[in-house]
Amino acid sequence: MNPEEYADRFLENDELLARVQQNIADRGMPAISIAPGYGRLLTMLVAATKAEQVLEIGALGGYSGICLARGLSPEGRLTSLELKQDYADLALAHLTEAGFGHQVEFKVGLAAESLEQLKQEGRTFDFFFIDADKENYPVYLEYAIELANPGAIIAGDNTFLRGRTLNPDKNGPSVQAMRRFNELMATDERLIGTILPAYDGLAVAMVKPRQP
Ligand code: MG
């Protein structure tokens, strides 16, 4: 048993998330939902920071959306950006089944365009979860910092790319983008961040209050 399997054993009696996973698999969608231990961490971080406005980049089937929404107060809102309409539809169905349908809003299309739109509208957020196309992680991070309320949390999933990020022989665009993202999350002066090395890697950072 590896450390992740050991930790997941405490989290496996989650019928709703198990059903969501099954539905995603049944539809032939990629089995890339966030790991159970990190899903629980998202719930805890949203609740602990009392985040009211949460932005998710990459909905897939709504698994991580449910984890994020579980941490929200009844007044909290989840805005979820998703490239594919059928994925957004399934994610909304799952969030509705989980009791959060009235708290979530989906924006379908290219995430960078939706982020630019949110910026133009002057929207700000308390929590960001980045889990979409890896080549654009540094772009999404810059938008997150721009749209962040002081003290906002940013989390990014799959920062190890199943080991490719750490492999010096791998240098494709996704790998290079992820290395840049990890470096920024851990070292950018606007952030206080770190990389959690379990599962496929999760980078987590807090946006420092802006200096006057
Ligand atoms: Mg992921």
pLDDT (tens digit, 9 = 90+) per residue, 15-44?
A: 999 999 999 999 898 888 899 999 999 999
pTM: 0.96
210 Cα: distance to centroid of ligand 1 (angstroms): 29
212 Cα: distance to centroid of ligand 1 (angstroms): 36
63 Cα: distance to centroid of ligand 1 (angstroms): 10
Looking at residue 33, what is its pLDDT?
84
d(CA 49, CA 57): 19
> Would you say residue 210 has pLDDT above 80?
no
Beta-carbon contacts of residue 24 (< 8 Å; ≥ 6 apart)? 31, 33, 60, 61, 63, 90
- Which sequence spans correspond to the domains of the chain? 3-207
> Would you say residue 211 has pLDDT above 80?
no
CATH 3.30.470.10 fits 3-207, yes or no: no
Average pLDDT of the chain, as a whole number: 95
Looking at residue 31, what is its pLDDT?
80
The model's pLDDT over 47-102, given as tens digits with 9 standing for 90+, comes to 999 999 999 999 999 999 999 999 999 999 999 999 999 999 999 999 999 999 99
**Cβ of 131: how many Cβ atoms within 10 Å?**
24
